[in-house]
């Protein structure tokens, strides 16, 4: 008898076309971790983590709050919202606790805000990798506008918004970063005022990402938030990931505009949050309320962090400048943005480098140095710019990182000095 036909398996399910790869910053960190596990030498300059241990006061507060296991209100616990409101009031921005919404990191709040506001978004070129990616996830278009220090040039912004609207694209918001990631620079008050004037003329909502505000290297440097000029149309986002190195805690806060826009936006944002994250983690909220109240011990910790970030970022910038790259002196956080365009001919001849991606690839695969190409931040890849993050050089252990934090001369510590020497060696070989 003929054998029975074999059953035909149904076709395997397929996903739709993938449009959002893993974040470039997180991918860089995972690549570095994989190299470490293989025993390969690495110089981690790609991931924007603050690189410091959690203050013991905050560890104790989190431990005490471990029993807070209920969901809680979507906007966040009242104590946290009040503490965040007082945080902004101490910076010259009187804030009602009802205007504060908390979330599991400022990143989630930014996405929720994009979804709540609707329409397209204007972003600075260059700007943090997640702004354009989140716009795409929300079904929006990110319109890149040349700028500096995290703020788009006002004239270019006005032209971009007008051109987009003429083409049927409704640009409804603009994101700024004060101070900036990727460049480590702080936009001038004049640039912020010009931005606010364009936002007023074109009825744009401003989202001001100020998560690095407390890490401006010179505490006396003038800092102007768009909320100082245009409180009725400005949202501020902030968190504890950078100033207190609590990235893994995932806690962010948003300060909503005054007036009717703020009330409407709050209702929409809470509706979105209720369906996506429900509420921030209860124990983290309790400890975060302490952090935002800024007791002297934590204020001192932030000051020490600021000093450390400034010292190491300057030292790394000097190494890039010495090899011939153009490097704006870093002004905030732990970032710098070297431009290798002056060395384009040398890099092409020695390594066949024609783009920032190939430059970053050579640094990674030949030398074990992890950096990010400027094109990840919206730049033209031919400009040979890199985003360099310096905070992972502080040490591999809590002991080393604590010593770096407390040192008046952290670059002389053996492990940081060794990293700086290795970077100098790599850049010398790279550029001949």
* Two structure tokens written together for 256: 């909503």
- Dist. CA 362–CA 144, nearest whole Å: 28
- Dist. CA 51–CA 32, nearest whole Å: 14
Q: If you search the block for the tokens 């991931």, which residue do you land on?
A: 47
- Dist. CA 294–CA 214, nearest whole Å: 12
CA dihedral sign, ordered 217, 219, 220, 226: positive
- Dist. CA 246–CA 249, nearest whole Å: 5
Question: pLDDT tens digits, residue range 177-218?
Answer: 999 999 999 999 999 999 999 999 999 999 999 999 999 999
Q: Which residues pair with 144 in a beta bridge?
A: 123
- Dist. CA 132–CA 118, nearest whole Å: 14
- Cα–Cα distances in angstroms (integers) from residue 162 to residues 137, 206, 230, in the given order: 24, 17, 21
* Two structure tokens written together for 192: 């912020």
Whole-prediction pTM value? Answer: 0.91
Helix (H, G, I), strand (E, B) or coil at 384: coil
- Of 93, 134, 143, 80, nearest in space to 283 by CA: 80
Question: pLDDT tens digits, residue range 126-173?
Answer: 999 999 999 999 889 999 999 999 999 999 999 999 999 999 999 999
Helix (H, G, I), strand (E, B) or coil at 11: coil
Sequence-separated (6 or more) residues with CB below 8 Å from residue 30:
22
Question: pLDDT tens digits, residue range 397-432?
Answer: 999 999 999 999 999 999 999 999 999 999 999 998
pLDDT interval class at 47 (50, 70, 90): confident
């Amino acid at each position: 008898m003929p054998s029975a036909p074999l059953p035909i398996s149904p076709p395997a399910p397929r996903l739709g076309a993938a449009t959002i790869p893993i974040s470039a910053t997180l991918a860089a960190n995972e690549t570095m971790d994989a190299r470490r596990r293989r025993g390969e030498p690495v110089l981690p300059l790609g991931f924007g983590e603050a690189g410091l241990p959690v203050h013991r006061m905050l560890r104790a507060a989190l431990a005490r709050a471990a029993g807070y296991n209920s969901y809680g209100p979507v906007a966040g616990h009242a104590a946290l919202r009040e503490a965040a409101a007082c945080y902004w009031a101490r910076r010259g921005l009187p804030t009602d606790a009802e205007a504060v919404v908390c979330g599991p990191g400022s990143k989630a709040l930014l996405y929720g805000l994009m979804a709540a506001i609707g329409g397209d978004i204007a972003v600075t070129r260059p700007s943090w990798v997640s702004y354009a990616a989140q716009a795409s996830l929300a079904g929006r278009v990110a319109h890149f506008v040349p700028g500096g220090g995290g703020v788009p040039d006002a004239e270019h912004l006005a032209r971009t918004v007008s051109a987009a609207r003429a083409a049927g694209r409704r640009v409804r918001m603009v994101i700024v970063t004060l101070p900036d990631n990727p460049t480590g620079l702080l936009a001038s008050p004049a640039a912020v005022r010009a931005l606010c004037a364009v936002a007023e003329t074109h009825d744009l909502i401003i989202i001001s990402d100020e998560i690095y505000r407390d890490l401006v290297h010179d505490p006396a440097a003038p800092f102007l938030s768009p909320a100082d000029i245009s409180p009725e149309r400005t949202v501020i986002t902030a968190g504890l990931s950078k100033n207190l190195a609590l990235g893994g805690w995932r806690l962010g806060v948003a300060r909503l505009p005054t007036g009717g826009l703020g009330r409407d936006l709050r209702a929409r944002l809470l509706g979105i949050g209720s369906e996506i994250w429900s509420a921030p983690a209860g124990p983290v909220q309790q400890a975060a309320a302490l952090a935002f109240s800024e007791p002297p011990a934590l204020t001192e910790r932030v000051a020490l962090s600021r000093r450390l970030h400034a010292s190491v970022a300057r030292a790394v910038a000097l190494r890039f400048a010495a090899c011939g790259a153009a490097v704006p002196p870093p002004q905030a956080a732990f970032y710098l943005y070297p431009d290798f365009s002056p060395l384009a001919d040398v890099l092409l001849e020695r390594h066949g480098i024609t783009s920032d991606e190939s430059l970053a690839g050579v640094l990674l695969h030949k030398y074990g140095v992890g950096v990010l190409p400027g094109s990840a931040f919206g730049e033209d890849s031919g400009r040979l710019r890199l985003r360099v993050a310096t905070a992972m050089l502080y040490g591999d252990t809590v002991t080393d990182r604590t010593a770096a934090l407390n040192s008046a001369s952290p670059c002389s510590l053996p492990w940081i000095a060794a990293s700086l020497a290795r970077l100098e060696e790599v850049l010398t070989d790279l550029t001949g």
